[in-house]
Amino acid sequence: MKIEIVVYNIESALRAQEGGADRIELCDNPGEGGTTPSYGTIELVRQNVSMDVYVMIRPRGGDFCYSSYEFHSMKRDISQCQKLSVDGVVFGILNPDGTIDKKRCKELISQARPLKVTCHRAFDMTRDPFEALEDCIEAGFDRILTAGQRAVAADGADLIAELIIKANGRISIMPGSGVNEHTVEDIVSKSHANEIHFSAVAFKTSPMIYKNSTIAGMGSEEGTEFKLRTVDPERVKKMRALATSVSAQK
């Protein structure tokens, strides 16, 4: 069982490694579902962890139908990731009709090699998951991250199982979204997945002593200004044990 942790900062990457993760997906902006992190963050993470580092290539939040400017930005980001010696990149591009943009995905995949390439949950926004599966295989993706076209993988586990059967080893299917200690066993049992993606998120209090009580959060009303996101290594270990236990029973 392979364990991938999505992380949004340097400390989270270090904690994921402490918990024994096999791989991280390094992103920025959790509130938007993940965008491309800064090159400084990528470089520092790469220098300080020995596990595989996959980097999100997503120029903005919102949909996955990108302008020519955004597409070229993605190409530049991939070039920088290659220079920083990461192991893989994660992206997805859709056409307006809800199909995978095979032409532009192929171009990015060709450029990214020899890095591994994952199609992220843009897959879950496609009009037909089995059509999208074949398109991802044709484009050359190594892996698909999916919640089975639902908000959380627990609700989409039956479709994930169908996708894994249909893929027949041609591409890896990795469940993700809403995967936690309460859902992981059911997801792995139903889907028969060999890898799993989750956050193992934890929060710690900011070391700030002075706090401006009139501001809930910089640019938000969520009160997160003094609440710092990280990863709980013990949750990573527990999740691996749960997923591996179920996987061994298959």
What pLDDT tens digit does each residue of the chain (250 aa) get?
A: 999 999 999 999 999 999 999 999 999 999 899 999 999 999 999 999 999 999 999 999 999 999 999 999 999 999 999 999 999 999 999 999 999 999 999 999 999 999 999 999 999 999 999 999 999 999 999 999 999 999 999 999 999 999 999 999 999 999 999 999 999 999 999 999 999 999 999 999 889 888 887 776 666 555 577 889 999 999 999 999 999 998 777 6
Contact between 140 and 117 (Cβ < 8 Å): yes
Q: Tell me how crowded residue 196 is: count the other CB atoms within 10 A of its CB.
A: 25
Give the integer Cα–Cα distance in Å for 146 and 177. Answer: 8
In terms of CATH architecture, what is 2-199+236-248? Alpha-Beta Barrel (3.20)
Contact between 64 and 92 (Cβ < 8 Å): yes
Contact between 190 and 161 (Cβ < 8 Å): yes
Total residue count of the chain as it appears in this document: 250
Which position has the token pair 């009303």? 221
Q: Quote the pTM value.
A: 0.94
pLDDT at 10: 97
pLDDT at 246: 84
To 5 degrees, how large is the angle CA 99–CA 69–CA 124?
25
Domain ranges in the chain? 2-199+236-248
> What's CA 140's distance to the chain center, in Å?
18
Tokens representing 152 are 């959380």
pLDDT at 37: 98
Q: 5-23: string of b/e by CB count within 10 Å (b at 16+)?
A: bbbbbbebbbbbbebebeb
What strands lie across the sheet with 116-119, from one edge to the other?
172-175, 143-146, 116-119, 88-91, 52-56, 23-26, 2-7, 195-198
Give the integer Cα–Cα distance in Å for 2 and 97. Answer: 33
Quick check: helix, strand or coil at residue 182? coil
pLDDT at 25: 98
Give the integer Cα–Cα distance in Å for 108 and 240. Answer: 32
Q: 42-71: string of b/e by CB count within 10 Å (b at 16+)?
A: beebbeebebbbbbbbbbeeeebebeeeee
**Strand locations in the chain, DSSP E?**
2-7, 23-26, 52-56, 88-91, 116-119, 143-146, 172-175, 195-198, 201-205, 227-231
For 92-113, what is each residue's pLDDT tens digit? 999 999 999 999 999 999 999 9
Question: What are the distances in angstroms from CA 186 to CA 49, 72, 132, 168?
Answer: 31, 40, 25, 21
